[in-house]
Amino acid sequence: MRLKRWIIGGMGAVAVTGAAFFWFAPYNIAASVPHLPGVGEVLHQYLRNAVRVRANRVEVPDHVDLDDPGLIRLGAGHFATGCQTCHGAPGLPRNPAVEGMRPEPPMLTSDDFEPEEFWWIARHGFKYTGMPSWPGEGRDDEPWAMAAFLSHYDDFDRAAYAEAAFGRAGGYQSAGVRFGGLPGAIPQELACARCHGEDGLGRDGTAPKLAGQSQGWLETVLEAYATGHRESGFMEPLAAPLSTETRSAIAERYAGMGGTWQGRSLPFGDAERGRALAWQGDEHEDIASCASCHEGTGGGLMPKRADTPRIAGQDGYWLVNWLHLYRDGPIPETPRAHLMQAAVRNLTDTDIADLAAYYAQKR
């Protein structure tokens, strides 16, 4: 009985102490006051442990090459859009406004985490820190670009970073990072070109090719990104502030461009089998023909309808990502997305690789 009373008394004391701590709030949460000695170190080590444990289950997809210059440039571009405001960038110190945050956003190095850990952090973010999860909530594919860039972060000086992130050396004119991010850092006409290229041909794999796509299709997808009906951590933050008139002008500009599409194939996939699957489909597996919609005019490379994108000559990396997107989600909420969802729902990973191999080499 005595032991029981001690246990009950101890539990009551803990409850009273906890309630008093909760209501009277003796620990100062003001960002202007540093943590008590040891508290910050414990929290930071817990964060690293939590990342390591969860990233142990992450695997780099077969079609992702973390040393691909195009993927690294894409990651640099998103870092400029969403990360450098708080973390600074190669050759660009943080804005003083963020140095008063608790925790203070660190300047980064390639040695901070492993690539899979960088992916997990970019994809999921951290509670109670101001570090957000990936803007395109369902896009597990996109944060690999951030993992690629951050794994090579130490390779960049300011000039190399500006060329990668903004499309040209000197593309960022400030002495340090402007608080509030990208607006005003580069001319409006370069906002798209820094990833898609001034010629619309995707900067050697950095982003999809847009030159010569129909104006109607480009307007449709820009509106979908701007209104949250097509998920992308890359495109949604950039499209959302654009007016209808600006989106239309961008679409008209890229639709009017020419140039040869030369897609880059992945190191796997059977292009010949992909050609047969693209043209004939597979009745037994209920797989539709891709060519019936995506080929037919312009030497067979252009789709028959203006509301259908050209895919012949796109890079294998993007083709694989898009086919997985329509098969596995999140499905875009665009007018003909349901047709793509039905067409690809029975594709295997091998089918996707073979179709990507065929269309990447078709020109």
C-beta of residue 73 within 8 angstroms of C-beta of residue 317: no
CB proximity list for 210: less than 8 A, separation 6 or greater: 192, 196, 200, 202, 218, 254, 257
Predicted local confidence at residue 178, as pLDDT = 67
Q: What is the pLDDT along the chain (363 residues), one digit of tens a residue?
A: 677 777 777 788 888 888 998 898 888 888 888 888 998 899 999 999 999 999 999 999 999 999 999 999 999 999 998 899 899 999 988 888 888 888 889 999 999 999 999 999 999 999 988 899 999 889 999 999 999 999 999 999 999 999 999 887 776 777 666 665 554 445 555 689 999 999 999 999 999 999 999 999 999 999 999 999 999 999 999 999 999 999 999 999 999 999 899 999 999 999 999 999 999 998 888 899 999 999 988 778 999 899 999 999 999 999 999 999 999 999 999 999 999 999 999 999 999 999 999 999 998
Is residue 34 situated within a structural domain? no
**Which of 170, 186, 202 marks a domain boundary?**
186
Domain shared by 68 and 154, yes or no: yes
Domain shared by 232 and 353, yes or no: no
Q: For residue 84, give its domain range.
A: 54-186
Domain shared by 106 and 223, yes or no: no
**Which of 169, 186, 203 marks a domain boundary?**
186
Is residue 317 situated within a structural domain? yes
Is residue 262 situated within a structural domain? no
Predicted local confidence at residue 131, as pLDDT = 93
Domain shared by 239 and 332, yes or no: no
Predicted local confidence at residue 8, as pLDDT = 79
**Which of 171, 186, 201 marks a domain boundary?**
186
User: How many domains does the chain divide into?
Assistant: 3
Is residue 62 situated within a structural domain? yes
| Residues in the chain, total | 363
Domain shared by 177 and 74, yes or no: yes
Number of H helices, E strands in the chain: 16, 0
**Amino acid (1-letter code) at residue 195:** C
CB proximity list for 350: less than 8 A, separation 6 or greater: none
Is residue 10 situated within a structural domain? no
Domain shared by 60 and 179, yes or no: yes
Q: How many CB atoms lie within 10 A of CB 18?
A: 10
As given in the structure block, the two tokens for residue 182 are 């990208």
Predicted local confidence at residue 185, as pLDDT = 46
What CATH number is given to the structural domain containing 337? 1.10.760.10
Instruction: Output the pTM of the full model.
Output: 0.91
Predicted local confidence at residue 14, as pLDDT = 87
Domain shared by 62 and 154, yes or no: yes
Is residue 337 situated within a structural domain? yes
